[in-house]
């Protein structure tokens, strides 16, 4: 389940990078930060989507912190994962329409 959330984060990251390139005609920043990528856009993104994108940052974590991983794995129940994947899908679909 954690892997699905991680992949959801990556999908959103790549889509945001494509939007940055489209918008700026420059290479997207080397970052995994969804809020940073959003800040590079002139596109007006609804506050609700911005907040969700920021919350999805917890799904991209460094493997160097095993204690954080354990806590995250405990948190990723079937219900938690399904809810967040649905929210990621909604954000993805909204952003994709802007591409």
Distances (CA, A) of 77 to 9, 12, 35: 17, 21, 25
Query: What would the two tokens of residue 82 be?
Result: 């399904």
Q: What is the pLDDT of residue 65?
A: 65
**Residue 28 pLDDT greater than 80, yes or no:** yes
The Cα 5–Cα 85 span in angstroms is 7
Query: Which percentage of the chain shows pLDDT scores above 90?
Result: 77
Q: What pLDDT, in 10s, does the model give residues 52-71?
A: 999 999 898 765 567 777 88
Please count the other Cβ atoms lying within 10 Å of the Cβ belonging to residue 67.
Answer: 7
Q: Are 18 and 99 in contact (CB under 8 A)?
A: yes
Residue-level pLDDT at 12: 97
Name the more confident of 37 and 66: 37
């Amino acid at each position: 389940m954690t892997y699905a959330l991680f992949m959801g984060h990556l999908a959103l990251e790549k889509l945001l990078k494509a939007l940055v390139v489209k918008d700026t005609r420059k290479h997207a920043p080397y970052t995994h930060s969804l809020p940073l990528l959003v800040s590079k856009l002139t596109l007006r993104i609804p506050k609700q989507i911005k907040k969700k994108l920021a919350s999805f940052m917890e799904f991209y974590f460094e493997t160097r912190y095993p204690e954080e991983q354990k806590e995250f794995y405990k948190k990723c129940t079937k219900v938690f994962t399904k809810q967040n994947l649905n929210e990621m899908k909604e954000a993805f679909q909204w952003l994709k329409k802007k591409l």
